[in-house]
A = this chain, B = another copy of it.
Amino acid sequence: MQLYAVIMAGGIGSRFWPRSREKSPKQLLKIFNDSTMIQDTVDRLKGLIDDDKIFIITNKLHREEILNQLPNLKAENIIAEPFGRNTAPCIGLAALLTKHQNNEALTVVLPADHIIQEKEIFQNTLLRAAEYANQSKGLVTIGIQPTRPETGYGYIQIEDEVNDNIFKVHTFAEKPNYSTALKFLESGDFFWNSGMFIWRSDVILEEIKKYIPDLYTELIELKSVLFTDKFDKKLLDVYGKIKGISIDYGVMEKSRKVFLTKGAFSWSDVGSWEEVYNLTEKDEDGNSLIGEVYTDMTNDSYIYSPDKFTAVIGLENVVVINTDDALLVCRRDQSQEVKKVIDYIKLKKQNKYL
């Protein structure tokens, strides 16, 4: 059994503005420590998957920076999509690439910008899931036990346990409203959809062929040019013709061989500054202060200002993000509204702030 990893790093995350920008999306930022989120994602695989079996699918804007951040990976394994087409094309492409290397490749698909705390449990989960995916020729997804009625995640409902910590999937559910999320939480059989998958590359390709045949037809055109200098041109051609579609909608919600394994590690997709605050160490005032920051009568706040002296007086539950050329001051529980700033910037054609 030969394990490969495919890290999906195509995000142009607008929720971390003004730190995340078109040129520096979330996965390329140092948010929690001195390494970037994609570096942490690769590091988390150490001991389980060799560096030369790690692929990264990214946007052409970011390939150069990823090469810089991850010098130990093989440059030819860092693949740049000409533009984003959602997850299904990305995953299909990744399956072609890994299958080309090893006809029986087992692939772990991981987003580049999640935070996972217990590496050992995480690796064990992947390994067990891979064994089951190999043996069953099924599609295994990792579900996270909900700890709160979160409305920001999709959910997956399980039914019977068919093997040790492997469950048949009953249904996929979109992001719920609060009362539905509460029901999901209370039911005990709904899990957060982490967007992490484990499968044989040949199996996911077959399922794409079955459920998104148009996509398969185009992708298979790439087979003869993989790892050649004709690849980029052909990829541009293929991406120009295919439709954007998510792997959940395109395959997972339809396939009859979908399983869920519970990930018993701390996990977050870190979807907002609020979530960054929650995941960051706080001082006795409940503040997380980055940079030279003076506070007075200020509590439960996240203040990021690495280059400018900053004073915050008399505020609670705020996020302050002070970068070279832009400033965000936001109520913490409104931090998901940051995406509207991006809309405004686009409207005003102030692209330098994107």
Contacts and interface: CB of A to CB of B under 8 A. Distances in A.
A5 interface: no
A309 B340 contact: no
Contacts of A297: 331, 334, 337
A34 interface: no
A345 to B, nearest CB: 8
B315 A338 contact: no
A17 B311 CA distance: 10
A47 interface: no
Interface of A: 17-18, 292, 294, 296-297, 305, 308-315, 318, 320, 322, 325-331, 333-335, 337-338, 340-341, 344-345, 350, 353
Query: In the complex this chain forms, how many copies of it are found?
Result: 2
A329 B344 contact: no
B318 A329 contact: yes
A296 B327 contact: no
A326 to B, nearest CB: 5
A335 to B, nearest CB: 8
Would you list the 6 A-B pairs with minimal beta carbon distance, nearest first? A314-B331, A314-B334, A313-B330, A310-B327, A311-B341, A309-B326
A330 B344 CA distance: 25
A340 to B, nearest CB: 6
Nearest to A341: B311
A327 B337 contact: no
Contact of A327 (B314, B327, B330, B335): B327
A290 B333 CA distance: 26
B320 A329 contact: yes
A277 to B, nearest CB: 14
Given A310-B326, A311-B341, 10 more contacts: A17-B311, A18-B309, A294-B341, A297-B334, A305-B327, A309-B326, A311-B327, A311-B338, A313-B331, A314-B330
Nearest to A330: B313
A337 B313 contact: yes
A348 to B, nearest CB: 9
Contacts of A313: 328-331, 334-335, 337-338, 341
Contacts of A327: 305, 308-311, 320, 322, 327
A329 B310 contact: yes
Contacts of A334: 296-297, 313-314
B329 A315 contact: yes
Nearest to A17: B311
Contacts of A338: 311, 313
A328 B344 contact: no
A268 to B, nearest CB: 22
A325 B328 CA distance: 16
Given A329-B318, A329-B320, A340 B296 contact: yes
Contact of A331 (B315, B341, B353): B315
A353 B308 CA distance: 10
B305 A337 contact: no
A312 B296 contact: no
23 contacts: A17-B311, A18-B311, A296-B334, A296-B337, A296-B341, A297-B331, A297-B337, A308-B327, A309-B345, A310-B327, A311-B328, A311-B338, A311-B344, A313-B329, A313-B331, A313-B335, A313-B337, A314-B330, A314-B337, A315-B318, A320-B327, A322-B327, A327-B327
